[in-house]
Amino acid sequence: MRSSMTKFCILLVCVFLCSRGMNAQSQSLKVLVLDALDGKPQANVKVEYFCMGPPLNSAPKIAVTDKEGSAEISDFCSDKQEIDISIYPPNKKEQCGVGPITLKDILSVGAVAHLDADGGIWCPTKVSKKLKPVPGQVILFIKEPTWWQSHVAG
């Protein structure tokens, strides 16, 4: 009897740990940073993100993209909050478009930056139009501003 109870308890612990691991994996998201002109992955880009809305706005958190232009975020918002993601390349390039999006939308549908969003630096949409959203992934773009953008419009 005692050995059956021990086996049952071990089984319950395993089920609990496995379910927690599965939730943790499904609750992470990937940020992919690409060049808006040629679609090449951008390495060493600082990805800053924070949660907006109730219960509380969070302090910004930081991740950095790898050589494939990807950064994984696993410590983030509740389902009802929006996540605001900003990217800061190590060169003169700047982020194109996008705004806050709910975690639920990212995990269920994914997101590709809207390059024609307000406040953007007029990024071309040739590369972005070819990409489809992937659940659990946000695709963002950067490009170097033109002379006009950096000296007159900016």
- Sorted by sequence, the CB contacts under 8 Å of residue 53 that are 6+ apart come out as 80, 81, 82
- Give 110-154 as a DSSP string: -EE--TTSTT------TTGGG----TTEEEEEEEPPPHHIIIII-
State pLDDT tens for residues 94-121.
888 766 788 888 889 999 988 765 555 6
Domain residue ranges in the chain: 29-153
Instruction: Match domain 29-153 to its CATH number in 2.40.430.10, 1.10.287.110, 2.60.40.1120, 3.60.20.10.
Output: 2.60.40.1120
Model confidence, pTM: 0.75
27-65: per-residue pLDDT in tens?
A: 688 999 999 999 999 999 999 988 887 877 777 889 999
Q: What is the DSSP letter of 65?
A: -
Residue with tokens 């109870």: 5
